[in-house]
Amino acid sequence: MAWILFTFLAAFMQAWRNALQSKLSGDVSVAGVTLSRFIVASPLAALYLYGLYQYQPTTTPSFNTAFWGYIVGASVMQILATGLMVKLFKMNNYAIGAGLAKSEALVAAILGVLFFGSALTFLGWLGVFLGGIAVLLLSGITSVKQFDGKTALLGLACGSCFALTSLWVREASLNSGLIFPHSAAWVLLFVIAFQSVILLTYLLFKEPHTIKKLWQFKGITSAISFFSCVGSIGWFSAMSLQHVAYVKTLGQIEVFFTMLIAVLWLKQPLKKQDSLGLVLIAIAAILVMLP
């Protein structure tokens, strides 16, 4: 059941990363905020991988073509997903932006079964669907009249990109031919390094001033990278051990942390339907943890 502990770690770290990115998005462009989660994370990921080999030496990796294809696909999708999430932050409040992106779990379940050979139990499907309902409640959508089509579509696109990222990360880890957790650590290092190169190249040519902005906010940028790296260690490790849909459904406990941060740190009020949404997330988490 190690995947459960890794998921709890990932959810806690991601809640803080999203909160800090929400703060930074008021001063830095979408591309800059997206880069903030990767820019310091690469050396941290390399240090983590080095530590694993010191603790448990294993064979030298030899990666196949499929592995590299999954790495590139996951890297690009996560950049797009992060950019869309930052746009959500700018369109609506922090809690709604994070909540809408949580459609990832349901999308991952559907895509996983259709294209990646995932096999979910009845209780697992029930948990995933309850989690999806909870996401709608926590996103502030209680009736069709309140439905914000543009924000909802953006949230669904964001969740879909995150879902593909997660599914390809799992496939890359399974195709690495390495033992766990080394397999997940290699995937993490390559994904973060590739993303950093893509975004740095883009900003150097298109938004050189944004790099200076990130330097001006180097404290919060470094914090975002740290929380992102540790959170990714949790996500990548959990997804190497368990179906993505289960991991992401349990990962919706991040909403508990998000609500606390939104109220205590960002000073944002909660809505009446939040209590029901949180109860549904708790039930969904229990269902996907059942054997």
Per-residue pLDDT of the chain (291 residues; tens, 9 = 90+): 899 999 999 999 988 888 888 888 888 888 888 889 888 899 999 999 999 999 999 887 888 999 999 999 999 998 898 788 777 766 654 555 556 666 788 889 888 888 888 888 888 999 998 888 887 777 665 555 555 667 667 778 888 999 999 999 999 999 998 999 999 999 999 999 999 999 899 999 999 999 998 999 989 999 999 999 999 999 999 999 999 999 988 988 887 777 776 666 656 666 666 667 777 888 888 888 876
For residue 148, the model assigns a pLDDT of 62
Specify the pTM.
Answer: 0.86
The tokens describing 77, both together, are 């999708």
End-to-end CA distance of the chain: 10
Taking alpha carbons only, the member of 261, 278, 282 closest to residue 15 is: 261
Residue 5 CA, chain-centre distance (Å), reads 16
